[in-house]
Structure 1
């Protein structure tokens, strides 16, 4: 992998990731850009202890532009975009409209391909491996920032999720705090260790691998399963079989197998509702251990993939119980979801 670091016209960092060591990246961003807005602040809810990012400047962010004005496509034919090069493999750059910036953290955009009409599931195994290298490299780089507590790599796909740019891309958030969901997992892991002497993440994976009924895909180094108490209609958790706290700790064997497992999983997601349905909207979220934490080795790196579509033409809305009380009601039994995801293998 070759990594080329440059800057955009307004001073934001942009990084090219290329599979070939001989790739040259020397295109210059010539747009007349003002310095990026960075007026976000973190406020804490006194009742729940949650952190809320207030970022009013994001109201002006780009919203559903036509394909020929996509800011994530390469700069071609006299049209300048966020990526100065005329083509690229994988690119990461600082978000122009960040939710977190400066002392409140950092937000980055990850473009998986220059093909505007593709999706992650369309990538080759080699390109998916390069994306994994980019996620890992950014985790390592951001971990070195003194204000960063946790790095979150994720992808939102589909207008139903709220995506405002159709180009295949994801994001990376570097939080200055441990997120509430992660903190809850850590508390549960500590309680489990105190009660049983065992690791919670190890026990969850071992239970699913032994039970088999909810396992969707099983490789030598990764296991994908629908969790016993899935919150979403179709939800899959992907774990390395050897527990590690974050992406940096994956060994070469796990890195090699990951693209095969993950691409097959995404392709099955697109087949859940049949060939006449539009692509399945989803969120793919990496859960990594917070940094500077004495118990971080107790955490188990994993990816959670889920869709808000519950059946053909119908979405799962977070209504009264979910939004008001954080009590999820799932219309699709996890065992039925796992069975469907096995049925659509390789079709």
Structure 2
């Protein structure tokens, strides 16, 4: 088993190498380890933290293979990989859960974010979900994951740097300013409640690349009050329900919670909690692939203007509300 980090000098970043992950089960129809009765989880649970059986990061990782050099550095893959089980039901997905249940999920996310942040080796704790075979999901049971990294991921590092530059230049938070811009324009806004705003931002590279952002300037789940956590649970249910309603099919997506780092510089003044969705569908049965220029140059290309796709998702949200028997705002 090879589990290690390899330095990429072109990007000043680290690649996780985890040969154990090739042994993961692929879409099992029976004998699901996350279902009660498997012997691996309690007979009764609502939401549950489960240590990943095939981790890319470990609390006590093996030493790297002796193949590195001064240029090609290696280091142990220190960290933690956890699975967050959303429900004991094998087929119930996030939009099908009750708000009360999703609120318990938000509480578990918060608890794990705080607990993993106590380890001084951890630099960043990322909570995420992959949904659908289109994004490579190998286990259909409803779940998300948490990775605790011993190094700052490159995208987060870039985002933090740009938020800091914006704050130094303007004195304001970049996400707060983006929120104001989207609320003023309105055409890209999908929904809002007392504490959260959902929109497909002006710059997204995915046709339905939704953001959920806190209205108040807070940087992590652990900052939120009980009403804010419930409002987040409501928004998660509504937006994933709207996605499923859009094309009348389970909507694949990658969802990532962006929060402050758990170690290092103080970012309270300029960073802001938000959730980013990366949904690969551009039409009901057509995938928006990341092609050569997008991966090779990070030159994103959205095949649809979001002023076209946001109204479509907004209409799907209103249809979903009607199906749920909820009055439209």
Secondary structure of residue in 2 paired with 1:296: coil
Give the CA deviation at 1:120.
0.7
Match of 1:258 among 229, 232, 237: 232
Partner of 1:286: 257
- Cα distance in 2 for residues equivalent to 1:230 and 1:82: 40
Question: Normalising to structure 1: TM-score of the pair?
Answer: 0.84
Partner of 1:101: 58
- Cα distance in 1 for residues equivalent to 2:94 and 2:230: 17
Contact 1:70 1:81 in 2 (8 A): no
Give the CA deviation at 1:82.
2.4
Contact 2:124 2:263 in 1 (8 A): no
Listed as ranges, the matches of 1:136-175 within 5 Å are 136-175=110-149
Worse overlay, 328-337 or 287-296: 287-296
Give the CA deviation at 1:186.
1.1
- Cα distance in 1 for residues equivalent to 2:119 and 2:107: 19
Partner of 1:24: none
- Cα distance in 2 for residues equivalent to 1:227 and 1:111: 29
Contact 1:160 1:281 in 2 (8 A): yes
Contact 1:234 1:332 in 2 (8 A): no
- Cα distance in 2 for residues equivalent to 1:253 and 1:86: 31
Give the CA deviation at 1:258.
1.4
Partner of 2:288: 316
Partner of 1:74: 36
Partner of 1:207: 181
- Cα distance in 1 for residues equivalent to 2:298 and 2:33: 36
- Cα distance in 1 for residues equivalent to 2:18 and 2:58: 10
- Cα distance in 2 for residues equivalent to 1:197 and 1:179: 26
Partner of 2:153: 179
Question: Normalising to structure 2: TM-score of the pair?
Answer: 0.89
Give the CA deviation at 1:212.
1.0
Listed as ranges, the matches of 1:1-347 within 5 Å are 39-66=2-29, 68-75=30-37, 80-83=38-41, 85-102=42-59, 104-273=78-247, 275=248, 278-297=249-268, 298-344=270-316, 345=318, 346=321, 347=323
Worse overlay, 145-154 or 328-337: 328-337
- Cα distance in 2 for residues equivalent to 1:72 and 1:159: 18
- Cα distance in 2 for residues equivalent to 1:157 and 1:245: 25
- Cα distance in 1 for residues equivalent to 2:6 and 2:105: 33
- Cα distance in 1 for residues equivalent to 2:300 and 2:10: 21
Higher relative contact order (CA 8 A, sep 6+): 2
CA RMSD of aligned residues (A): 1.3
- Cα distance in 2 for residues equivalent to 1:289 and 1:142: 13
Partner of 1:13: none
- Cα distance in 2 for residues equivalent to 1:259 and 1:246: 15
- Structure 1 segments of 4+ aligned residues over 4 angstroms from their partners: none
Contact 2:173 2:272 in 1 (8 A): no
Contact 1:72 1:81 in 2 (8 A): no
- 5+ residue gaps, structure 2: 61-77, 324-329
